[in-house]
């Protein structure tokens, strides 16, 4: 999945992830939980998917980054929340629909991985690519020359939103 946004803009995008081969009614794996995904600083959630019978499936999900440097760059710029779950009993496919928010401040290209684990067994990994393109030009400064080989001085103030 590629999520592309212009720098200094905010994008909300729905992302559908298909989990194939989910087995309803399977017993939960011993020790399955947040620790099975490693020590993730991103908050893991446990949504439930019900197919109308007694079998209830729970999923843990987290956004993992390739390095701590990428984590520090992306963590405050990316938000991910599960908004909908669909269960197809015939094909045994669970569709998880996420709302992904991306608000980059400057141009960049980074990758992350969504890791989803079913407590009844199963692990899925989906790569995400976050691309922030060049922002729109804030303003244009025109400096007119007095003449050839003559000094011309113009003063203006620049302010920044960050330090």
- Answer yes or no: is pLDDT of 27 > 60: no
Q: Which domain holds residue 67?
A: 2-23+59-133
**79 occurs within a structural domain:** yes
pLDDT band at 36 (very low <50, low <70, confident <90, very high): very low
**35 occurs within a structural domain:** no
- The per-residue DSSP string of 92-122 comes to TEEEEEEEEEE--SS-EEEEEEEEEEETTS-
**94 occurs within a structural domain:** yes
Average pLDDT, the chain: 80
User: For 30, what's the count of Cα atoms within 13 Å in the CB-facing half-sphere?
Assistant: 0
User: Looking at the 3D structure of the chain, how many domains does it have?
Assistant: 1
**86 occurs within a structural domain:** yes
128: CATH: 2.60.40.2310
Q: For residue range 120-135, what is the model confidence (pLDDT) as tens digits?
A: 788 999 999 999 999 9
Look at 44 and 83; give whichever has higher pLDDT. 83
**163 occurs within a structural domain:** no
């Amino acid at each position: 999945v590629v999520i592309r946004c212009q720098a200094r803009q905010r994008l909300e995008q729905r992302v559908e992830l298909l989990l194939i081969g989910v087995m309803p009614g399977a017993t939960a794996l011993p020790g399955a939980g947040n620790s099975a995904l490693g020590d993730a600083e991103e908050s893991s959630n446990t949504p439930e998917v019900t197919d109308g019978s007694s079998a209830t499936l729970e999923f843990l999900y987290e956004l993992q980054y390739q390095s701590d440097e990428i984590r520090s760059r992306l963590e405050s710029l990316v938000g991910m929340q599960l908004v909908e779950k669909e269960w197809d009993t015939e094909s045994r496919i669970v569709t998880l629909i996420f709302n992904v928010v991306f608000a980059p401040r400057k141009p960049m290209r980074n990758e992350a991985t969504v890791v989803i684990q079913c407590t009844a067994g199963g692990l899925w990994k989906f790569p995400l690519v976050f691309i922030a393109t060049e922002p729109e030009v804030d303003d244009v400064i025109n400096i007119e020359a007095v003449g050839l080989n003559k000094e011309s001085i113009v003063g203006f103030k620049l302010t920044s939103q960050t330090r």
